[in-house]
Chain A
């Protein structure tokens, strides 16, 4: 069932359902467990589920564009940082030398990470960049 704005904030209304990538809930994450090493930064990363839930809340609160950003973000959660930074770099003006380079990045997101929204977004950029002449090298 889709979350509504009355479910917000999730950390207060559904603390048991708020969990990290390895399944630890908010209650599980204590200073003691940080100290004994059983909680690491990995346990403090947001999950795609949480972003989907926040997207539902945003949509219910009348913020569809924010919801779409959360949906794109959900697709990026499990994408490694280096890949994200490479693709961000590729999207900057003059980095990609051709439309094809961006389309390849889009395919990689779609095929390796199931990131269909991100892929479509990059394809849209590829079309626009071609029309606006952004595939020119900037010294």
Chain B
């Protein structure tokens, strides 16, 4: 043999998966998910009321991170007890539904990074997901969207923000292609997100100082790009220290703006300062640090480092483990599922599943509500392209992923309203004057490739003007109100009023139905089945309401449409009880109870008149006589075929259901041991029915023809047709009657060929 390659590998080469690159496990170079020889053993020393050693490092050798954790995170009253516990035992407590969350949170506050990492390392992926579900701080799950576009076009931002809000996202995050466009992006998203309802929190990811200024002008209501790192070198390379970032955290709170930090596996690896430590251990340090800083929450689970983490063995499991440590420490968790870590749709689906089922404060810390190429953060794990897949996953698993299907007409109304509202603001404030044509193109556009609207340079002028003139959200509210957008003006004012009480600064706060929901008033109380978050019947109905759902009424309506048309093409006349024939030329075509009476086309969309014409013509072409008999004792293809064969003088019969499933049978065979079966009706074409008729005739003439093969290319026939098929079949079976006699049918073709 001269072959040198199994072509299956060539097939695999073409799969999107092969675009993903995988890295060998190499702890010395930082490529290790859970454990590295350089990771310290857990340990703590406490003397004189303070931490004097942490995970094997003595106080005098503490780096900035050690010191911050020792001073601000470790609860020295709990630490001796927590650190003395067997990590395996703690791991079991994490998955024990009888151990309350509060008890585990208390212990975590006395644990060092190495201890936390060691405990979760004992859990497999399923256990981590379960523990996450039990340990996350707020009971009700939520989700966050990215709203950006490739042109920084404010019109599209407004329209896309409005639709993201309608899909149910609790938070919206934007950023820019060009950093000077930050103010325009912020204003546009703020206005768009005020359409339809109020309460979606909004952030504009930009340079630290600029972001805080934008927040103070009222445009944004939270921030999450305050990054922290797990090694000192990465931290200073990121141009910050734990103290500078903690100061910033206090500054945000002092302005009444919600904030969370960002960290995640892989960032130290990408920055080149990993100290040969495992990804999980470094992230455990980040998380202890964040709790010590007093931030209410974190965005973690890889984030920008998710793609590199996904190259390492156990990478996805590690991302889940670090999210678990976050919630175990009692931090709000925006759980990654953000940067697209793979080109494989299967890996995408697998990545999101544990989170969808377990729930999370924000399942994605950036679900790309826009198309991939419009995502200025880079594509997300899930994007505008795949949003409906996610909606269906929610329905499949009866899991609340935070989103709600949005009817097409409503989406268009909201987009138009957002465009009109933003245009009014731009005009009132003298910022720009969008034309009707621009608005039209954006209203319809799926992405910025389809728009004729503002370009980044235009936006720079708008953005600079907002900044230079000191325009605030109050000015925007006034502009909206003056132009009759009272509801949107009120919605924005509600958001600003959140700042007065500071209620939404508490852990895991979001707004639902105009009310604050956080870990304080909606704490996760999971203690086994029947507790914790449950999808209510009302919510279940919302999740179920995806597009294009078929019901029997719909099937009957569609059939009724075809009934009229078939009436002009074919007539079926009942001609008494059908008898057994002894004519060797007699070939019986057994049709099902509803055939041509209630049902008029095959699942492939062929008219039943055309199918019968092909069958009968092919039989006649061999000089035989087709005879049509309607059976009402059965609707099953095999029995239709066998009963037909038993009546046929030739001993050969065809059984065919209205949906197009057919069989060639012979009198003396067992019911399911037929001559030929045509089971894939959705892809069975008229030429196949003609071949079926010809072969039936050939068998009747004692020949051995080549069986008709209906070619299939692996289509998921069941997923495409089974709902409809089951409904159609129920219409057939409803007409069956035990012991009903076969009925001769005279068929007349009254119309032309199609």
Contacts and interface: CB of A to CB of B under 8 A. Distances in A.
Nearest to A19: B500
Assign chain A's interface to a size class: 35 or more
Interface in A4-52: 5, 8-12, 18-20, 26, 29, 31, 34-35, 39-41, 44-47, 50-51
A18 B500 contact: yes
A50 B218 contact: no
B501 to A, nearest CB: 4
A interface: dominant SS: helix
B753 to A, nearest CB: 69
Contacts, number: 204
Given A31-B486, A44-B500, A88-B209, A9 B244 contact: no
Contact of A9 (B293, B296, B493, B521): B521
A112 B145 CA distance: 42
Interface string A59-88: 001111111111011111101010011011
A68 B502 contact: no
B352 interface: no
A95 B64 CA distance: 16
A133 to B, nearest CB: 10
Interface string B250-294: 111111100000000000000000000000000000000001111
A46 B254 contact: yes
A45 B246 CA distance: 21
Contacts of A87: 247
Contacts of B294: 65-70, 72
A9 B477 contact: no
Given A63-B330, A132-B232, A50 B254 contact: no
Given A34-B477, A128-B67, A57 B520 contact: yes
A20 B499 CA distance: 9
Nearest to A92: B244
Interface string A104-135: 00000000000000100110110011001010
Residue of B235, B241, B250, B478 with most partner-chain A CB within 10 A? B250
| Chain B interface main SS type | helix
B295 interface: yes
B243 A121 contact: yes
B516 A11 contact: yes
A125 B246 CA distance: 11
Contacts of B135: none
B64 A132 contact: yes
A54 B500 contact: no
A76 B250 contact: yes
A16 B213 CA distance: 29
A85 B212 contact: yes
A88 B64 contact: no
Interface string B624-652: 00000000000000000000000000000
B106 interface: yes
B507 A63 contact: yes
A31 B105 CA distance: 43
B412 interface: no
A62 B250 contact: no
B236 A76 contact: no
A91 interface: yes
Contacts of B519: 61
B352 to A, nearest CB: 29
A68 B493 CA distance: 29
B63 interface: yes
B499 A31 contact: no
A124 B521 CA distance: 35
Interface string B464-490: 000000001110011001100010011
B386 interface: no
A10 B503 contact: yes
Given A70-B505, A88-B209, A91-B241, A29 B493 contact: yes
Interface of A: 5, 8-12, 18-20, 26, 29, 31, 34-35, 39-41, 44-47, 50-51, 53-54, 57-58, 61-70, 72-77, 79, 81, 84-85, 87-89, 91-94, 118, 121-122, 124-125, 128-129, 132, 134, 138
Given A34-B474, A92-B244, 18 more contacts: A9-B503, A19-B500, A26-B501, A29-B500, A31-B481, A34-B481, A41-B218, A44-B474, A57-B506, A66-B296, A72-B250, A76-B250, A81-B213, A85-B209, A88-B208, A92-B240, A93-B236, A121-B243
7 contacts: A9-B501, A10-B501, A34-B489, A35-B482, A51-B505, A62-B105, A65-B291
Top-6 shortest CB links A-B:
A69-B294, A46-B256, A73-B253, A125-B243, A76-B254, A91-B244
